[in-house]
Structure 1
Amino acid sequence: MRILFLLFAILPIIEIALLVKVGGIIGGWNTIAIVILTAFLGSYLVRREGLQTLQTAQDKMQRNELPGNEIVQGLMLVVAGVLLVTPGFMTDILGLLFVFPGSRHVIASHLTKHMKARVVTSAGFGGQSPFDQPQSPFTQQPRDENGDVYEGQYTNKTDNDENNRLR
């Protein structure tokens, strides 16, 4: 919750203050030109790195390997694209950290470690998988004395024979 508050409340205030400060130093039009230039440069870099990451993921899948790290990097590139197109210097710096391969690999490895730890701890020792659906007592299958479940359709032949005789 705190992170969302920082993103949506404090970060725009910081961005506006930085834009005004830089605009006062180098001029308003130069500041606008830098913001537009970083948006175009960022979109080019995101596209190039995204295609490279996609190619690596496809190569891993052809070798029957799970491209987990590439999936995380692809998501980071999506976030980087949004950050780089958003006007501001803080978002541009964060977006460039997500785009450049060296920093992206480091951040992605930390994210995957964190996600693996979350999955393991959320599964816990409760005996149920986090993916199990809770069962209602009203939808449980009837069981016999051995605990076996028998399902199927049946037709009562005695009723059909009596109906045929009455006709």
Structure 2
Amino acid sequence: MSILLFVFIIMPIAEMAVLIQVGGMIGVFNTIGFVLLTAVIGAWLLRQQGMATLLKANQRLSSGELPAKEVAEGLILAVGGVLLITPGFITDAFGFLCLIPFTRYWLSALALRRMVASSKSGGFYFRAGGGQSPFGQEPFGDRNNPFGQQRPFDRDGSGDIIEGEYRDETKTDHDRLDKK
């Protein structure tokens, strides 16, 4: 509740106060121009950093790895983009912090350490914090590796994975009936 109070009441009031102060010092049109300039620079940086993060995620997926770090960075980039589009200097400052690689890496590492991944019937859900999942299952992994050991899918839990080919016999039977 206190976060919502901060975001929807205190933050806009602080933004208005800063905009009024800056407008009084450099003028209204210069203030508006500066806000627009930060939005344009932010959009350019977001595009550049977003493409780099997307390429890294694609490389990790291609090598069979889970791109958790890249997904977290992508979310931080999206938040930074929204903050930069929002008019104001305080939100612009936080938005640029989300786009700077060093602070973005730090924020994504912080977010990943707080995530706990748990499974329920083959799916995953994520929640901040630790402890048991709402489904009564123990989370796997630890704070350094919240995704646990990555292993190929193994339905029966035997540890053996058998590769092979299959043939759909029902389709073959229908094909035989059509030929007759």
- TM-score, normalised to structure 2, is 0.67
Note if 1:128 corresponds to 2:142.
no
CA distances 1:28-69 after superposition (whole Å, capped 9, x unpaired):
111111100000000010011000000000000111110001
Note if 1:26 corresponds to 2:18.
no
Q: Secondary structure at the match of 1:123?
A: coil
How far did 1:121 drift?
A: 1.3
Listed as ranges, the matches of 1:6-21 within 5 Å are 6-21=6-21
Alpha-carbon distance between aligned partners in 1 of 2:63 and 2:22, rounded to the nearest angstrom: 50
- In the alignment, is the contact (CA less than 8 A) between 2:42 and 2:84 conserved in 1? yes
Q: Residue type of the partner of 2:97? A: L
How far did 1:127 drift?
A: 4.6
Q: Residue type of the partner of 2:20? A: V
How far did 1:123 drift?
A: 2.4
Superposed structure 1 runs of 4+ greater than 4 Å apart: none
How far did 1:122 drift?
A: 3.5
Q: Secondary structure at the match of 1:121?
A: coil
Alpha-carbon distance between aligned partners in 2 of 1:70 and 1:4, rounded to the nearest angstrom: 27
RMSD, aligned α-carbons: 1.9
Equivalent residue pairs, number: 129
CA 1:17–1:62 in structure 2 vs 1: closer, same or farther (change >3 Å)? Answer: same
Q: Secondary structure at the match of 2:45?
A: helix
Alpha-carbon distance between aligned partners in 2 of 1:89 and 1:127, rounded to the nearest angstrom: 45
Structure with greater strand percent: 2
Q: Secondary structure at the match of 1:66?
A: coil
Alpha-carbon distance between aligned partners in 1 of 2:5 and 2:132, rounded to the nearest angstrom: 25
Residue identity over aligned pairs, in percent, reads: 43
Q: Secondary structure at the match of 1:13?
A: helix
How far did 1:120 drift?
A: 4.1
| Greater Rg over alpha carbons, structure | 1
Q: Secondary structure at the match of 2:64?
A: coil
Structure 2 residue aligned with 1:79: 79
Q: Which runs of 5+ in 1 are unaligned?
A: 131-167
Q: Secondary structure at the match of 2:66?
A: coil
- TM-score, normalised to structure 1, is 0.72
Q: Secondary structure at the match of 2:131?
A: helix
CA distances 1:134-160 after superposition (whole Å, capped 9, x unpaired):
xxxxxxxxxxxxxxxxxxxxxxxxxxx
How far did 1:26 drift?
A: 1.1
Alpha-carbon distance between aligned partners in 2 of 1:129 and 1:110, rounded to the nearest angstrom: 22
Structure 2 residue aligned with 1:42: 42
Structure 1 residue aligned with 2:101: 101
